[in-house]
Chains A and B, each alone.
Chain A
Amino acid sequence: MTIPDDLKYARSHEWIKAEGDSVVVGISHYAQDQLGEVVYVELPEVGAVFNVGDELGTLESVKAVSEFLAPVAGEVLEVNTRLEDEPNLVNDDSYGDGWLVKISGSTESEELLDAAGYEEFLEQESA
């Protein structure tokens, strides 16, 4: 299982990376694997404001629709427009080119897990 050390993770399977005053959000390798080949991504409007746990957008595979949630509160600064034509980037490079949104905010949250914590969480979930 691929879980990079330099990221933080939400229990709803998003990853978060600090980038200056903002954070980048994507979904974990585990999440994309569960979802299957992503064929459509619906992203929020730039400028929209979200609270923790709000639905940021949706990811659709052939078999299912899945929401992704705001792991931290903040305003959407940028969305990954490449996903409109290449939704499969979420599968092929979930921690890189398959990122979803940039939000103003910080990764300082007690709710977020580090890599070891997320790995443990996944083990509990699958047990």
Chain B
Amino acid sequence: MVEFAGFELPVQYSSLTEEHHAVRTRAGLFDVSHMGEIAICGPAALDFVQLISCNDHQKMTIGRAQYTGIMYPEGTFVDDTLVHKMADDEFLLVVNAANRHKNVAYLTELAVDIDGVEVIDLSDDYAQLALQGPLAQEILQPLTSEDLTELKYYRFIEGEVASTAAIIARTGYTGEDGFELYVAPLAAPVLWRAILDRGQPHGVLPAGLGARDTLRFEAGMSLYGNDIDNTTTPLEAGLGWIVKFKKGDYIGRDVLENQKEEGVERKLIGFEMHDRGIARHGYPVFLAEDDTEPISYVTSGTQSPTLGKALGMTYLPIEATEFGTEFFVRIRNRTAPARVVELPFYSRKKD
């Protein structure tokens, strides 16, 4: 167990790699109740969300979820978040646990000057279970009267699962199909057991933080604090698809527009080690083998359980980001060669 943002979380229940493979081939169940939930309410809710986010939420209909970044004026990340449109005057932002209080303070401060919007921290009102994997729908369907085949990717409905009121969202952080279920904290243990019972014949496994990290990593999804933070912009992080300019003014827009025009100076890339050794978070990165000053640091890195290779992510100067470019990572006392490869490392076969 590790302490994380005030929650006790298991790194693994059985074996990290078994849990990882279960999610890729069958299903895994994560307790991600530590995630924060912040409601933006009031007649000006949409305007407020538009102000703080680099994505465009104007056309969202009720029941849709959209990924975005909450921006500083520098165009860097306060956090990354999933925005759920609950009603015309209500959005629910699911944020990283470690950033919960920072987000609430930042958003509350901004809302002070705006009429018709309220920021409410609902994190203690929601537990979240994530059922992820190709068999997720098969396992969950018997527990709800909602027709899950009708629930498309990045949509959600409010309904009942195992007799518990839930937000059922077809979202996830693993690169597989799956659902994120938001329920009252007291109802979570019963739902947890119901899903595991129902999923047992399908080989579902409870999965911990360790597998959550390796799964999102293979799928090329950024982790706040590792791959993105208050010094990186979404354009540098390869998240240009969440940066929109056909909308009104928003925090950080000038910087992002300028960066888009001029081109970024550095970019988050994926890499593969082509010698022995595993590059991990924080290891120094060099462009040439005999360089003494690191150009960067590994943002995320591990042995990929699905691909069986040592892979990583780091920021490199734009001129060194072409696929195949060789550079070096210092692993303890030696320097090991790496080369730039395409992100994501893994994407599931869509049917």
Contact = CB atoms under 8 A, between A and B. Distances in A.
A81 to B, nearest CB: 12
A65 interface: yes
Contact of B277 (A37, A40, A62): A40
B119 to A, nearest CB: 36
B226 interface: no
A50 to B, nearest CB: 15
Interface string B279-292: 01000000000000
Contacts of B20: 62
Interface in B276-332: 276-278, 280, 302-303, 305, 310, 332
B132 interface: no
A37 B17 contact: yes
A36 B303 contact: no
Contacts of A58: 332
A114 interface: no
A60 B303 contact: yes
Nearest to A55: B332
| A-side interface size class | 10 to 19
Contact of B16 (A37, A42, A60): A37
Given A58-B332, A63-B210, A40 B276 contact: yes
Q: Which of A39, A58, A63, A65 has the most CB of B within 10 A?
A: A63
A98 to B, nearest CB: 17
A61 interface: yes
Contact of B210 (A39, A62, A65): A62
Contacts of B15: 36-37
Interface string A44-76: 000000000000001011110100000000000
B11 interface: yes
A62 B307 CA distance: 12
Interface string B18-34: 00100000000000000
A93 interface: no
A84 interface: yes
A59 to B, nearest CB: 11
A84 B302 contact: no
A40 B276 CA distance: 8
A40 B17 contact: no
| B-side interface size class | 10 to 19
B278 A39 contact: yes
Nearest to A60: B278
B276 A84 contact: yes
B128 interface: no
Contacts of A61: 16
A82 to B, nearest CB: 14
Contacts of B210: 62-63
B332 A62 contact: no
Contact of A36 (B17, B276, B277, B310): B17
A27 B332 CA distance: 21
A108 to B, nearest CB: 32
A39 B303 contact: yes
B55 interface: no
Contacts of B280: 65
Interface string A14-45: 00000000000000000000001101101000
B68 interface: no
B277 A63 contact: no
Q: Which of B214, B277, B303 has the most CB of A within 10 A?
A: B303
B335 interface: no
A62 B276 contact: no
B87 to A, nearest CB: 41
Contact of B12 (A40, A63, A65): A63
Contacts of B305: 62
A62 B309 CA distance: 11
Interface string B244-282: 000000000000000000000000000000001110100
Interface of B: 11-12, 15-17, 20, 210, 214, 276-278, 280, 302-303, 305, 310, 332
Q: Which 8 A-B pairs have the closest CB atoms?
A: A39-B303, A63-B210, A37-B17, A63-B16, A62-B303, A62-B16, A60-B278, A36-B16
19 contacts: A36-B12, A36-B16, A37-B16, A39-B278, A39-B303, A40-B276, A42-B276, A42-B332, A58-B332, A60-B278, A60-B303, A62-B17, A62-B214, A62-B305, A63-B12, A63-B16, A63-B210, A63-B302, A65-B278
